[in-house]
Amino acid sequence: TPAQLAWMEGKVGRYPFENYGLLIAQARTGFELETQTLSLFEKDIFTEPAYPAWYIDSIMVHEMAHQWFGDSVSPRTWSDLWLNEGHASWYEALYAQEKGHQSMAKRMREAYRASDGWRAAGGPPAAPKGPRPGQKISLFRPVVYDGSSLVLYALRQEIGTPAFERLERDWVRTHRDGTASTADFISLASQTSGRDLQGFFRAWLYGKKTPPMPGHPDWKSAPVEKAKPVKG
Ligand SMILES: [Zn+2]
């Protein structure tokens, strides 16, 4: 955990709270949860032999990343949830690539393939579909996880890695201990990159179809639902 904290601080800047810990519960919750300063994990995550070490580590980093993205900077409305889960999934994937040799491009290509199906099922990343009358549905659906880290990947492709990394640091510093909206993110991304990104984000965050991936014109999306493990 200290090494993961150092890694996260190297990516986005100082940890926003005074303490951090993990609570490993002997319980089946069906999720892990980014409780502020004390992330909650099911014991099985750590004891199930089928999970490789890189996977467990990347889930730990997912919940840790939420301390910045979600807990320190909180979403203004539930439609801004993609900012929480997209970023947590982003650092999960980045950690898996840097420490576990799991290709992020491969993961993103797979997410791209599934993305149109996720959008059809759950709505676009920043405009989640409501339930049908009388039904209850979960907002925590694939389009806000890898479907939204895919948006961040597209953004990094579009504005380049240095501007993207600056934006990430600026975002958590500017909105620390506050709430922030999708419009705030678009505005800061435009400011940091020196470009008007309204059109880019309109297509990526509100489009029914996944826009072409900058730098990967050959990537294709198929309207098929893909199962993913549940993360908080
Ligand atoms: Zn999460």
Tens of pLDDT, residues 23-81 = 999 999 889 999 999 999 999 999 999 999 999 999 999 999 999 999 999 999 999 99
Please state, in angstroms and rounded to a whole number, the distance separating the CA atoms of residues 127 and 144.
10
Ligand 1: centre distance to CA 198 (Å): 26
pLDDT tens by residue, 113-137: 999 999 999 999 999 999 888 988 8
What is the residue-averaged pLDDT of the chain?
95
Please state, in angstroms and rounded to a whole number, the distance separating the CA atoms of residues 138 and 118.
13
Structural domains in the chain, sorted by start: 52-206 (1.10.390.10)
Which pLDDT does position 179 carry in this prediction?
98
Q: Which residues pair with 35 in a beta bridge?
A: none
Ligand 1: centre distance to CA 230 (Å): 9
- Kindly report the backbone phi and psi dihedral angles of residue 209, in degrees, each rounded to the nearest multiple of 5, phi listed first: -110, 150
- Residues 182 and 152 sit within 8 Å (Cβ to Cβ): no
Ligand 1: centre distance to CA 140 (Å): 9
Q: What's the Cα-to-Cα distance from 204 to each of 32, 43, 104, 155, 159, rounded to whole Å?
A: 27, 36, 19, 9, 14
Ligand 1: centre distance to CA 210 (Å): 22
Ligand 1: centre distance to CA 217 (Å): 29
Ligand 1: centre distance to CA 88 (Å): 6
Determine the angle formed by the axes of helices 146-159 and 161-174, rounding to 10 degrees: 120
Ligand 1: centre distance to CA 24 (Å): 16
